[in-house]
Amino acid sequence: MSLLDLKTKAFGLDISDLSLKIVALNQRGRFFNLASFREEEIKPGIIRQGEIKDKESLVGIIKEAVKKIKGEKLKTKYVVASLPEEKAFLQVIRLPKMSEEDLKGAVIFEAENYIPLPINQVYLDYQIVQPPARGIDHLDVLLAALPKSTIDPYIDCLKLAGLKTKSLEIESLAIARALIKNENSSSPVLLIDIGATRTSFIVFSGSSLRFTSSIPVSCQNFTQIIAKALNTSLLEAEKLKLKYGLIPDKKFNIFEALVPSLVDLIQQVKKYLDYYKSHHPDKDVSKIILCGGGANLKGISDFFSDQLKIKVELGNPWINILSKDGENKSQLSQSESLRYATALGLALRGIKKN
C-alpha cells in the first residue's frame, strides 16, 4: 500500500517530529541483515504534529544522516519513507465482490463517506484485505488517505535531499510489518508504539490493520513528569527514568510519579480494546506488543499485563528480518531496536521483491 512503488531496492527512512532514523538491509538467502543505520535529532519546531514547518532544515538533517550513515555506505538513492500517523485516515470498509476495474471507482465513491476532506485534497490508496476463510461473499478493503498538503512537503524534502521516492507509507503499516511474524496473525493483536511525542494504537488481525489511533502521551511526557516530581533537570530525569523505570526504589520512586499518567494510558488502552470488541464481538485481542522508546521503561510490560489482564510483550522488530526466529545479532541493541521498529519495517518493504 503506497503512493508510488517501483521494482528497485530502497532503504527505510522514518521521519517523526523529533528524530529521523535510517535503516538499510542486505538480503542473505531467505533472510536479511542490517547493512546501515543512523539516527539524527530534529529540533523542535521543524516538524510539528506531522506537519513540516521548516523544509530547509529538514533537508539538511536528511543529508547529514545519509552522509554519516553507520555501517555500509548506502548503495541506492531510492527510499521508502514514513508518513505521520496522526494525519492519516485509515478504515476497513466492506464492498460487494467486483472486478478490479470496478473496485477503484467504488473505493473512491465510498471514501467520501469516511474521509473528512474533499477527495481532491487527499492522496488515496487501498488494498484488499485477504479473508480469514474461503466462501466470503464480500470484499474487505483497507482504505488509507492523507492530505496532499501534508504529503507534498515530504516529497519535496526527499527530492531536495537528493533521494528518489520509491514509496511513502503510514507508520502503522511499517510497524506491523516489523512486529507481526510473517505479517499474519490468526487472532487480533494490539500494537502500542510509545514514541517521543505520542502513543499510537494499532489493531492487526489476519493479514491487515483493522484500526489505528493516536494520543498525545509520550516518552517526553514521562520525563517531564519525573523532572517536576523530583525537582530535577530533564536530562537527569531521563537518566533516572531509564535506570529505574517502574521498579520501586526507596530513593527515586519513579513509579509513584508516573502513576497518574500510566493510569490514564491504561484507560485509553481499555477504551480501544472495548471499541474493537464492540465491532468484532467474536474476536478478542489475544495479546499486546509494545514498541517505541517508551517500551524500554523497565517494568512497563508487567504493569500493562497486570492492569489489563492480557498477555503483554516487548516487540521483536527483527522477527521477519533475521534467521533463527528473529534472533538479534545486529549492531543495534534490543532497546535501540524498539525505537527503530518503524524504520526496520520500512527497510523491509524497500528490499522485499514483492
- The pLDDT, as a whole number, for residue 7 is 61
The full length of the chain comes to 354
DSSP secondary-structure letter at 183? G
**pLDDT at position 1, please?**
47
The rounded distance, in Å, linking the Cα atoms of 20 and 14 is: 5
Residues forming a β-bridge with 37? 23, 70
Instruction: Give the three-state DSSP class for 282.
Output: coil
Res 100: pLDDT: 84
Please give the pLDDT value at position 122. 94
Q: What is the pLDDT of residue 3?
A: 47
Quick: pLDDT tens for 105-114. 899 888 888 8
Question: Quick one: which H or E segment has residue 224?
Answer: helix 219-230
What are the grid coordinates assigned to 233, written together? 533537570
pLDDT of residue 128: 86
Q: Where are the beta strands (DSSP E) in 42-131?
A: 47-48, 51-52, 70-71, 78-83, 89-96, 122-129
Binned at pLDDT 50, 70 and 90, residue 328 comes out as: low
- Residue 175, pLDDT score: 97
Q: Cα 257 from chain centroid?
A: 28
Q: What digits encode the pLDDT tens for the residues 2-50?
A: 544 556 799 999 999 999 999 999 988 888 999 999 999 999 999 999 9
pLDDT(336) > 50: yes
d(CA 212, CA 199): 11
Average pLDDT over all residues of the chain: 90
- Whether the model clears a pTM of 0.85, i.e. scores above it, the answer is yes
| Cα–chain center distance at 230 | 32
Pick from 189, 228, 224, 226: which is nearest to 206 by CA? 189
**How far from chain centre, in Å, is Cα 156?**
22
Question: Cα-flanking dihedrals φ and ψ of residue 101, to 5°?
Answer: -65, -40
User: Could you tell me the pLDDT band of residue 330, with boundaries at 50, 70 and 90?
Assistant: low
Helix (H) or strand (E) holding 326, with range, is helix 323-326
Band (pLDDT 50/70/90 cuts) for residue 353 is low
Share of the chain above pLDDT 90, in %: 62
Q: What is the pLDDT of residues 266-314, one digit of tens each?
A: 999 999 999 888 888 778 899 999 999 999 999 999 999 999 999 999 9
Residue 322 · residue 332 · CB < 8 Å: no
Which residue type occupies 35?
A
Q: Which residue has the cell 496522526?
A: 86
pLDDT greater than 60 at residue 329: no
pLDDT reported for residue 4: 46
Q: Which residue, among 182, 143, 151, has the nearest Cα to 167 in the 3D structure?
A: 151
Integer Cα distance of 107 and 126 in angstroms: 8
DSSP per-residue codes, 136-163: --EEEEEEEEEEHHHHHHHHHHHHHTT-
Has residue 325 got a pLDDT over 60?
A: no
Residue of 64, 4, 59 whose CA lies nearest to 39: 64
Most distant CA atoms of the chain, gap in Å: 66
Tell me the per-residue pLDDT of 146-171, one tens digit each, with 9 for 90 and over: 999 999 999 999 999 999 999 999 99
pLDDT at 334 over 90: no
Helices 254-279 and 300-308 meet at what angle, rounded to 10?
A: 50
